[in-house]
Structure 1
Amino acid sequence: MGSPSEILLGTTDHGLGLILGIAGACRTDELVNLTVDDIEDVGSSLIAKIPNTKTKIPRIFVVTDVGNMLELFRKYLSLRPPHVKHKRLFLYYKAGKCSSHPVGKNTMGKIPSVVASYLKLPDVACYTGHCLRRSSATLLADAGVDITTIKRHAGWKSTTVAEGYVENSIENKTKIANQVF
């Protein structure tokens, strides 16, 4: 899985998977199926395309350079061995080396639990790959983004489904309390 510092600093597939998963409200299989051709580095940001989605509607999202995320992406790509015959973005990375073997759905789905374990959160097993979509929706809602934008971002057609992904976070409860008082 990589050391905790590798995971959080993005020097493994876990760090980049976490960044892309939350930035794009991605399903685990969408991350697994990302190819190097699906991510375009345009200098000041990354444009990511999810061509194959559960709803059959392709999505596009952008990753900006907040927190040196572009540097992490570029570093990850630079570790890619030249002999890799496939285009899958995520490759198995261990002990400072990147192999040609693609990361599978189960490994990708464990990213949130690995991060939760590092952060010493309770109930680590509850943190699954689906947490990336839920976290993305909750962060957007907590930032005051309207439900239509959240639906568009994650590719949900139903408002009810989109609202079901938004956690009732302490940050949101605090905003409400401040508005009440």
Structure 2
Amino acid sequence: MIKVGLILGIAGACRTDELVNLTVDDIEDVGSSLIVKIRNTKTKIPRIFVVTDVGKMLELFRKYLSLRPPPSSISAFFCTTKQENVVRSQLAKIPWEKFPSVVASYLKLPDVACYTGHCLRRSSATLLADAGVDITTIKRHAGWKSTTVAEGYVENSIERPKLLIRF
């Protein structure tokens, strides 16, 4: 579940509440990719993003989906887990805010407590900037209206100086 949350969270620059509110109907598996719809956003502007089959991402997604209870019993995509079994209840927001610190701890990163659910949006923006994506596209991807806010999310990117240049 954590791996799937990281994939979706970073791929879609998701807020923790957007992950909590994801339903099975919000994610469409089209074979070679996933189409994910974020309907309930802070800005009230729905977003759509695609997760392509890089590495084992779709395999992890499909494995997690196979462990979930049937959609008829619970529509929330992420459900609480107890060991390897999925329990029939929606995952609360609190664990999502803490799961990046769990990942940071596993990776033996310093200052584990600094890793919060917001790291997903920062990581997404920084990865896009590092790939040379322009600030307008980054804003649209994450649902930011302000260029200043979007630029603030790009952490120590190798492309950051290019983003800050204005014509």
Compute the TM-score of the two structures, normalised by the length of structure 1.
0.85
Q: Is the 8 A contact 1:84 1:100 kept in 2?
A: no
Counterpart position of 2:74: 86
**Which residue identity does 1:132 align to in structure 2?**
L
2:144 pairs, out of 139, 156, 170, with: 156
Give the distance between the partners of 1:90 and 1:14, measured in 2 at CA: 10
- TM-superposed CA distance for 1:82, in Å, is 3.4
Change (3 A) 1:83 1:54: closer
Partner in structure 2 of residue 77 of structure 1: 65
Matched residue SS, 1:71: helix
**Equivalent-residue separation in structure 2 for 1:135 and 1:79 (angstroms):** 28
Does 2:155 match 1:167? yes
Q: Which amino acid in the other structure matches residue 33 of structure 1?
A: N
Q: Please tell me whether residue 147 in structure 1 is matched to residue 135 in structure 2.
A: yes
Work out whether residues 18 and 111 of structure 1, in 8 Å CA contact, stay in contact via their aligned partners in 2.
no
Q: Which runs of 5+ in 2 are unaligned?
A: 163-167
Matched, 1:47 2:47: no
Q: Deviation at 1:85?
A: 2.4
Q: In the TM superposition, what whole-angstrom CA distance separates every residue of 1:57-100 from its partner, at most 9, and x where no partner exists?
A: 00000000001111111111100123862200001123211111
> Are 1:113 and 1:124, in contact at CA under 8 Å, matched by a contact in 2?
yes
Matched AA of 1:80: R
Equivalent residue in structure 1 for 2:110, among 112, 115, 122: 122
- Aligned match of 1:21: 9
- Alignment match, 2:23: 35
Once residues 104 and 26 of structure 1 are traced to their aligned partners in structure 2, the CA distance between those partners, rounded to angstroms, is 15
1:136 Cα deviation after fit = 0.2
Number of residues of Structure 1 aligned to a counterpart in Structure 2:
161
Counterpart CA distance in 2 for 1:67 and 1:83 is 27
Identity of aligned residues (%): 78
SS at match of 2:56: helix
RMSD of equivalent CA atoms = 1.7
| Worse overlay, 50-59 or 89-98 | 89-98
TM-score, scaled relative to structure 2: 0.92
Structure 1 alignment gaps of length 5 or more: 1-12, 177-181
